[in-house]
Amino acid sequence: MLSSTVITYAIIATMVVLFVTNVVPTAVTALLAALSLYATGVLTLDQALSGFGDRTVLFIASLLVVSASLDATGVTAWTGQVLVERAGNSQKRLVALTALLAAGFAALIGVSGAVAALMPLVILIGLRLRRSPSTLLMPMLFAAHAGSMLVLTGSAVNLIVSNAAARLGQPPFSFFSLSLIGVVLVAGAIGIVVYLGSALVPVRSGRTIADDLSRHSATLTEQYNLFDGLFRLTVTADTACLGKAETETGLDAYPELGLVAIQGPETHFPRRETLLALGDVLLVRGAVDDVRRFADEQRFALRETDTAGDLRGALFNATSGLAEVVIPPRSGLIGQRMFPGMITPSGDLMVMAIQRRGETLRFGETEIAAGDTLLLRGNWRALDEHLQDPDVLVVDNPDLVRRQAVPMGAGSKRAVFVLVALVLMLASGLVPPVFAGLLCASAVVLLGVLRIDQAYRAVNWTAIIMIASLMPLSTAMYETGAASRIADILVSLCGSRSIYALLAALFLLTAIMGQVLSSAATALIMIPVATAAATEIGVSSRTALVTVAVAAAASFMTPIASGANLIVQGPGGYRFGDYWRLGLPLMLWFFVVGTFLVPLVWRP
């Protein structure tokens, strides 16, 4: 009968083969591996499924929600604009700045959180500059791995290593204990991705690349000729129709003019009142002389200096925007009569324009037919909620439009506040990291930065299932004695040789295991091996632990090496064998640092 150790090795080997061949989806393969550990009697059911309740998994999920709030509110879009301005058209400068930004974000919110937050930004930059996003995503990803070593809370592995040191009776690592090593790793990683990335990163088309929606408002206003002959007339204290119904504006006497919309203060649009109030604005289309005559007669304040940018800013801003919808066959709206300026029954949206077969219908009521397109305006939340109606087909998702086209939009200050609070809690150590992460993830929902359904969508469930399913493998390594056997072999090979031989062996073993297991699981397996080996040859276990942390961060060679690697695989269009090309020189750099620099900083 096969021993539990042999069964564990067989399960790991089978899993790696399935990962490489991609015959079965990676998440399913990982889940089947965990279930196999139970089915073969290696682990109990609770042990085999323990990863799904692991605090590291919950922490990663919470970081994805917090990072999504930065993306959804336009914080990353603003960062992207600054990045593009600084980088210009230089590919090397663009890669360097993107990598530096990723390293900084990883130190703040972890590798997975940083990659999830920056990935839409990097894709957008690639689309704007007519470069394949695949040439930017992998350098950004690998720089984020290096950035995880900048501070203690940059990764779960750092925390695991610190706790291991405390259990051995040594002082735990401080928040900035790893910073010197982290700075050296980041500097070398940026140099490698800048100068070798163009030759080693494949140019591929991602399976899930979004369109560039940064000029969405300009595209829509040009398509619908929205600002041709459009003027803004403001109701003043002297306006004749002040306090009267919207039908008593006096426009009936000017058939050559058309009322497009009536809006209240820009923060309350569309307006819900039925009587014209001070400060209300009439959007009127017509010849400039006719508009002037009407404004003078009715005593409106006419803004003749409005440019297309001014008008677009009044319609498309941090609080509200535009959306284009198509009327599908069998829609309940077919046969209904609509007109520009009409408020929808919900009271939250306004019909700005109607187009049929490419021709914009100017004034008067129109009977809606299948195939008509409507340009709607309202606040972003109303657009998100009401455009899920099956009676319309949305051309571009308002949520995606807002993320790309509205830098530092509504809720951005709250999102930044939550991020700062998260960093402070993690840096101070007042609460466990998972508590801080879940608290801040809840805060972005309670503060209205994200809706609960947006928070659910922010979590990359494929990566979460992968990580949770692979964690029980470390338990199996402990339970079956596989870890102790590896330690015995390692010590016998190194013997009483120098500290560099031991650290080199620890690094290579940890890094190799880390390419098929999660970094946290690898660290949990290697920590007892490292401490036992270090004690046996009489060197500081603290030095060996830092080398394990550096090696665990070197998750470069395969897409399954970390959840972050999986996050970029689809959008980058990467194959399993694409990662090692750029990953190998980075691995060599991490090897040099982990083997030769670490013992200089932490004396053996």
69-96 pLDDT per residue, tens? 887 787 776 776 677 677 667 778 888 9
Per-residue model confidence as pLDDT tens digits over 480-506: 877 667 767 777 777 656 788 888 988
User: Which structure tokens are listed for 103?
Assistant: 């390293």
Domains of the chain, residue spans: 216-313, 319-405, 479-601
pLDDT band at 208 (very low <50, low <70, confident <90, very high): low
- Name the CATH code of domain 319-405 (choices 3.65.10.10, 3.90.1640.20, 3.10.310.30, 3.30.70.1450): 3.30.70.1450
Check: CB of residue 151 under 8 Å from CB of residue 179: yes
Strands 337-338 and 320-326: what pairing?
A: unpaired
> What CATH homologous superfamily does 216-313 map to?
Regulator of K+ conductance, C-terminal domain (3.30.70.1450)
pLDDT at 230: 75
Per-residue model confidence as pLDDT tens digits over 318-377: 677 788 889 889 888 888 888 776 777 776 787 878 888 878 776 667 888 888 888 888
Cα(20)–Cα(559) distance, integer angstroms: 10
Within a 10 A sphere around the Cβ of 403, how many other Cβ atoms? Answer: 26
CA 530 centroid distance within chain: 35
Check: CB of residue 203 under 8 Å from CB of residue 134: yes
Name the region of 406 (left: φ>0; alpha: ψ -120 to 50; beta: rest).
beta
pLDDT band at 560 (very low <50, low <70, confident <90, very high): confident
C-alpha closest to that of 602 among 541, 556, 527:
541
- Whether the bond into 328 is cis, omega within 30 of 0: no
Query: In the predicted model, is pLDDT for residue 554 greater than 80?
Result: yes
C-alpha closest to that of 556 among 576, 575, 574, 582:
582
Strands 281-285 and 301-303: what pairing?
A: unpaired
pLDDT at 507: 93
Mean pLDDT, residues 123-136: 77
Per-residue model confidence as pLDDT tens digits over 1-39: 568 888 887 887 787 778 767 688 878 888 898 899 999
Mean pLDDT, residues 118-142: 81
Cα(28)–Cα(269) distance, integer angstroms: 47
More confident residue, 303 or 177: 177
pLDDT at 546: 92
Lowest average pLDDT, out of 106-115, 170-179, 255-264, 590-599, goes to 255-264
pTM check: above 0.75: no
Cα(252)–Cα(258) distance, integer angstroms: 9
Question: Do the domains at 216-313 and 319-405 have one common CATH topology?
Answer: yes
One-letter amino acid at 571 equals: P
Query: In the predicted model, is pLDDT for residue 446 greater than 90?
Result: yes
Q: What percent of the chain has pLDDT over 90?
A: 13
Looking at every residue in the chain, the average pLDDT score rounds to: 80
Cα(176)–Cα(182) distance, integer angstroms: 10
User: Which structure tokens are listed for 129?
Assistant: 């500059």
pLDDT band at 248 (very low <50, low <70, confident <90, very high): confident
- One-letter-per-residue 3-state SS of 421-485: HHHHHHHHCCCCHHHHHHHHHHHHHHCCCCCHHHHHHHCCHHHHHHHHHHCHHHHHHHHHCHHHH
The CA-to-CA distance between both ends of the chain, in Å, stands at 44
Cβ-Cβ contacts under 8 Å for 421 (sequence gap 6 or more):
440, 443
Cα(374)–Cα(97) distance, integer angstroms: 41
C-alpha closest to that of 604 among 527, 529, 541, 546:
541
Check: CB of residue 446 under 8 Å from CB of residue 172: no
One-letter amino acid at 130 equals: R
pLDDT at 596: 92
Place of tokens 């509110």: 73
Cα(257)–Cα(419) distance, integer angstroms: 50
pLDDT band at 589 (very low <50, low <70, confident <90, very high): very high
Alpha helices, DSSP H, located in 3-54:
4-21, 26-39, 45-48
Cβ-Cβ contacts under 8 Å for 440 (sequence gap 6 or more):
62, 66, 418, 419, 421, 422, 425
